Amino acid sequence: MDYQNIIFEIEDGIATITFNRPKALNAMNAATMTELLHAAAACKNSASVKALILTGSGDKAFVAGADISQMQNMTAVDALSFMELGHETLRLIETMPKPVIAAINGFALGGGTEISLACDVRFASENAAFGQPEILIGLIPGWGGTQRLPRIIGMGRAKELILGGGQITALRAYEIGLVNRVFPAGQLLAETKKFAAKLVALPGFALKMAKHSINYGYDQSLDSGTRLEAECCAQCFSTEDQKEGMKAFLEKRKPAYIGR
């Protein structure tokens, strides 16, 4: 695919997708979301990609939200199609068998917050800002905000953000568990890539099983979730990396993983 609204790069097993509409503060229109879907699918299906980073171009915004200029004259049918495209894309990111890290550099409002919520880990710059301001223009979140946000920060805090339409700082986002780490703006991408490189060096199948167990066990009963965990853990014993990991541990040396 010929990407016009994102930059898609792969280096040392790490794919980076950069939202690249800086004049629009990287706002998401249908074309950008479609490009994100295609790039994310390519990452999922590529054996050379071990981890994925999402970030924004410039120093002002990760994604400042959906592109209101495109949405203004949508019919309900048009809007549903746009929301479904977003859900398909973010669910792919959320469930792909590889870790996805958001490097949130500036505004992550509305759809920007929702994109970050679909990622496994969220790192933010000190100047980042989060919020679900859709209520202020007569809407509600449409790309998973009403569902993922309460699961991550709790019902009360999610309702405060969604019903009130306000914004919070990176520090507040860290305090309530919305982001994992906060870095100075100049260090954000380097620290994110350092963490991604750490994940790339780990056994890929074990990472896949860990993510699968967390994602699909979360809303199950404890008995069902722990059964899923046991089955995922047991599957790791079928890999050469598991054998190498335990052997290296007993021999007190660094393991040499081969990805299978």
Q: Please, how many CA atoms are within 13 Å of residue 171, restricted to the half-sphere of its CB?
A: 2
Residues 35, 94, 134, 251: which is the catalytic one? 134
CA dist., res. 251 & res. 253, Å (int): 6
Residue with tokens 């050469």: 240
Q: Is 160 noted as a catalytic residue in this protein? A: no
Q: Give DSSP secondary structure letters for the chain.
A: ---SSEEEEEETTEEEEEE--GGGTT-B-HHHHHHHHHHHHHHHH-TT--EEEEEESTTTEEE--B-HHHHTT--HHHHHHHHHHHHHHHHHHHHSSS-EEEEE-SEEETHHHHHHHTSSEEEEETT-EEE-GGGGGT----SSHHHHHHHHH-HHHHHHHHHH--EEEHHHHHHTTS-SEEE-GGGHHHHHHHHHHHHHTS-HHHHHHHHHHHHHHTTS-HHHHHHHHHHHHHHHTTSHHHHHHHHHHHTTS-------
Catalytic residue among 9, 11, 88, 114: 114
**Residue 9 appears among annotated catalytic residues:** no
Structure tokens at 213: 């167990």
- Name the residues annotated as catalytic: 114, 134
